[in-house]
Structure 1
Amino acid sequence: MDKKENKRFYLIREDVLPESVVKTLQIKEVLKNNPSLSIFEAVKQFDLSRSAFYKYRDTIFPIDEKLEETREFTLILYVNDIIGMLAEVLNTLSKLNLSVLTIHQSIPMDGRATITLSLDGKDTDLEIDEVMESLKMIEHISNVELISMTI
């Protein structure tokens, strides 16, 4: 790949990552929490080679670590078309200390609609999955998906 080209990013669940990548994430966390620990000691503790650690350390990071820097993300909610649905969603977001940056509600079809929300979470301590679970608890929301985030 040409170095001038943009790098592509993916969201991927931890359970499908290779063991060396998961260990790299664990080592980064240990080093972050214990600055006196050397990289040599940390990789030895997790039975990973230093070369594997150095290969992945600058290319893999938890979503929430990057969100600490920006805290902006976009969700899509699949909802039943009932009066007051959007108001209930906005009320819940307010209680979670989230700011709405943009909002779009689709035209309902067959009693269903989508609500797309770009949110700023700098004033909340919640992680994305906790926000999504809180929204899923609202009656008449069938699903919530993360569709983008600012990194």
Structure 2
Amino acid sequence: MVKPKYYLVERTLLPEVFQRVIEANEAIASGKAATASEAAKIAGLSRSAYYKYKDGVRPFFEATTDRIVTYHFMLHDQPGVLSSILGLMARSGANLLTVNQSIPMRGMASVTISARTGEMKYSSEELVHRAEAMEGVSKVEILASE
């Protein structure tokens, strides 16, 4: 069996059929559609196109569910900022595997955290948005997902 390869492509560069497959999958997940046929109709797809791509196309942050995800944070060198990030991750249900912090330079510290995401209460995307909104957080990004 050939091992699949994955590519990260910006959404607007994808053929419209892929975007519609994602829309159909979201209709099923949200309960707007009870069957694949209903979902395909809502998204403006043929059933055959939906079935062809339904398992191979999904949003990046959905693909980070039940995985090991490595997050990178740029934090202001202030007391309690790292603690707040760790608290956010604990509240989310992430299982922290590694935490690495650099020595702060020019008032900023680089922190890399790897976590298992299978038990998280919300998506990695939501975690990133919540972290970005916290005081003392300059930048948050996902470095890797395995």
TM range (shorter): 0.7 to 0.9
Residue in 2 that maps onto 1:123 = 119
Alignment pair present for 1:149 and 2:139: no
- d(CA) in 2 for partners of 1:77, 1:124: 19
- d(CA) in 1 for partners of 2:43, 2:132: 36
- From 20, 24, 45, the counterpart of 2:21: 24
> 4+ residue stretches of structure 1 with deviation over 6 A?
none
Residue in 1 that maps onto 2:96 = 100
Deviations for 1:114-139, whole angstroms, at most 9, x for unmatched residues? 10111223333211121112211222
Residue in 2 that maps onto 1:78 = 74
Q: CA deviation at 1:143?
A: 0.8
TM-score when normalising by structure 1: 0.73
Q: CA deviation at 1:47?
A: 3.3
Which amino acid letter does the alignment assign opposite residue 119 of structure 2? D
Unpaired segments of 5 or more residues in structure 2? Answer: none
Which amino acid letter does the alignment assign opposite residue 11 of structure 1? L
Deviations for 1:5-58, whole angstroms, at most 9, x for unmatched residues? x543233443443211111222334456545x354x654553334554344333
Provide the alpha-carbon RMSD of the alignment.
Answer: 2.8
Q: CA deviation at 1:104?
A: 0.9
Alignment pair present for 1:61 and 2:41: no
- d(CA) in 2 for partners of 1:45, 1:102: 43
SS at match of 2:120: coil
How many residue pairs end up in the alignment? 144
Unpaired segments of 5 or more residues in structure 1? Answer: none
- d(CA) in 1 for partners of 2:72, 2:36: 42
In structure 2, the CA distance between the partners of 1:80 and 1:45, relative to structure 1 (3 Å rule), is closer
- d(CA) in 2 for partners of 1:64, 1:112: 27
Greater shift after overlay, 47-56 or 22-31? 47-56
